[in-house]
Amino acid sequence: MKMLRTCLLLGAVVLDSAAAPNTPSSGQSLSLPAQIHGRVRVVDGKTLTFMQQKETVRLAGYETPEPEQIADSDGVEWPAGQIARSWLVLRTLRRDVNCSPLQRDGNNVILAHCFVGEINLAAAAIAEGIGYAYHYPGEPAVPAYFDLERRARGLGFGVWSATGLLPPWQYRAEKSKPALAPSNIDPPGQGPARPPPLSAPAPAGQLP
């Protein structure tokens, strides 16, 4: 873990070659601090707010299930998104967090590698199957995180034990798809149309 931290602090990251459509233009971005240190409030499984500095930080190279996502492992349902947040709360509760900022995203949120003591929070979470190694276009990739993910996946830890749990980027894409309007719904206030009779009934006393 010390070796991983040293590599990260020396800048052993690889920038994705894709364009970053959400990167703010010059003049819009706030200055980037060299270091952020202190107590935090956990926003979600990957995002922290430093209470004194009033800065929001997102863990670089890491993604977690959405808060409402539910996983199913061997018939046992568990709240994958909420567990990711709880994991981060327990790791940072009453502890100082030290973050090394890399850049700001399109919302001026700081992207950073964050530590509690010698523990790299994103690396530890990925190793335990809490979340995923992932980077968005224009954000730094951390090759070591993908190695940790492969091991967690092979051992079936956390999210890798679940059947049918979509990664959050796929889950959001599915949610954003427009719902198809049903074509067989009757107009308001009307019931289904009745089919006409096959033939008119014969008058009484007459054969058809």
**Distance between CA atoms of residues 129 and 25, nearest Å:** 36
Q: Tell me if 21 is assigned to some domain.
A: no
- Residues of the chain scoring pLDDT < 50: 1-27, 185-208
Q: Tell me if 97 is assigned to some domain.
A: yes
Q: Tell me if 93 is assigned to some domain.
A: yes
Q: Tell me if 187 is assigned to some domain.
A: no
pLDDT at site 202: 47
Q: Tell me if 178 is assigned to some domain.
A: no
Q: Tell me if 24 is assigned to some domain.
A: no
pLDDT at site 22: 41
The per-residue pLDDT for range 124-168, each reduced to its tens digit, is 999 999 999 999 999 999 999 999 999 999 999 999 999 999 999
Range of the domain at 79: 2-13+30-164
**CATH, residue 132:** 2.40.50.90
pLDDT at site 183: 52
Q: Tell me if 104 is assigned to some domain.
A: yes
Count of domains for the chain: 1
Q: Tell me if 207 is assigned to some domain.
A: no
pLDDT at site 8: 46
DSSP code string of the chain:
-HHHHHHHHTT--EE-SS--TTPPPTTTSPPPPS-EEE-EEEEETTEEEETTTTEEEEETTEE---TT--EEETTEEE-HHHHHHHHHHHHHTTS-EEEEEEEE-TTSPEEEEEEETTEEHHHHHHHTTSSEE---TTSEE-HHHHHHHHHHHHHT-GGGG-SSPPPHHHHHHHHHSPPPPPSSPPPTT--PPPPPPSSPPPPTT---
**Distance between CA atoms of residues 80 and 75, nearest Å:** 14
